[in-house]
Amino acid sequence: MKISTEVKIGIIAVIALAATYWGLNFLKGRNILRAFDEYIVRYDEIGGLEVNSKVYVSGFRMGQVNNIYFTLDKQGELTVAVGIKKGYKIPMGSVAELYSEDIMGTKAIRIILSGLSDYYKPGDTLLSNIKPGLTDLLDTELDPLKRQTEKLLNSMDSLLLSWNYIFDTRTQADLKESIDNLSNASNDIKDLLQKNGKLQRIMDDIESMTTNIKEHNEQIALALANIANISDSLAQSQLKSAIYEANETLRYSHSVLKKIDAGEGTIGMLVNNDTLYNNLESSSRNLDRILKDLEENPGKYIHFSIFGGRKKK
């Protein structure tokens, strides 16, 4: 059977178109000759994920993104159709995590396996997760710093405006004059210290005293510790009760002395009544004379007889 030239040209054209289509898809990373099981993943934000983006399992490329479209029943949610090599089973509970594949922010999906013994069926919906990329992390970390920098710049601008408002030409001149006066005063004090030997000696004495205190720091600390111990001992002793009892005794003595001064009682009458004192003094002298006479002449007062004789009057 003879094939016409037109049929040959048509067959060659179809083969060329098929090869071109396969080559373009192959360059995009999609092998149309390989069979895939398709699974569904839903994200609120895909961050630049595209059709034919890579899908990894345990770091090994196992598929690609077949299609991306908006979910019909949920506004803003995107549905991603993921193709996995035919025959590979994904355990239940596995997560399809969207992440940045490189520092340029190229998005890819990796399947984090759960390790369960039950498996998804092709067409099932996988759990999803989005891992922030380097750009997202930088934005998150730098945004507070950016706001703080803006606030600082605004504060510095307000400060400079206030500075220019307060320190006008006259105020700046007055401030310069005050600084000059302060410098002159410090120079005068320096000259005075150099010329006046007495002030210099006072300063030397103060320096010597501080040096001695520094050298005897341990002795001073020990003395302070002893004082603290003595104060603690006094606080723990019964000094308070002793002082209280002494006060009571003094108050009682004051009351007794007050009564004596008022002439109350025997001691009060003796102190304040001269007659009683004089009588006591006279009785004391008479008693003294009687005792002396008794000592010198005992026979006048004591009579006794060995043989029972009658006493003489």
Least Cα distance to 272 among 281, 282, 260 occurs for: 260
- What does the alpha-carbon distance between residue 121 and residue 127 come to, in Å, rounded to a whole number? 14
Q: Can you give the pLDDT at residue 121?
A: 92
User: Residue 93's pLDDT is what?
Assistant: 93
pLDDT digits (tens, 9 = 90+) for 172-217: 676 677 777 777 767 666 665 665 565 667 677 777 777 877 777 7
Structure tokens at 144: 């507070």
The pLDDT assigned to 197 comes to 60
Decide if pLDDT at 79 tops 60: yes
At residue 110, the 3 state secondary structure works out as strand
> Which of these ranges, 137-151, 174-188, 295-309, has the smallest mean pLDDT?
295-309
pLDDT score at 40: 93
Specify the amino acid at residue 39.
Y
3-state secondary structure of 85: strand
CA triple 225-227-229, angle to 5 deg: 70
With 90 as the cut, is the pLDDT of residue 153 above it?
no
| CA angle (53, 82, 38) in 5-degree steps | 145
Local structure of residue 125 (DSSP, 8 states): B
Give the residue, 55 or 168, on which the prediction is more confident. Answer: 55
The pLDDT, as a whole number, for residue 98 is: 92
Q: Please give the structure tokens belonging to residue 164.
A: 């220019």
- Band (2; pLDDT cuts 50, 70, 90): low
Answer for the pair 90, 39: CB distance below 8 angstroms, yes or no.
yes
Residue 86 has pLDDT above 80, yes or no: yes
Q: Are 80 and 49 in contact (CB under 8 A)?
A: yes
Phi then psi dihedrals of residue 110, to 5 deg: -125, 140
Q: What is the pLDDT of residues 243-299, one digit of tens each?
A: 667 777 877 777 777 776 676 766 666 666 667 667 767 777 777 777 777 777 776
Query: pLDDT confidence of 120, banded at 50, 70, 90?
Result: very high
Tell me the domain boundaries of the chain.
Answer: 1-33, 34-131
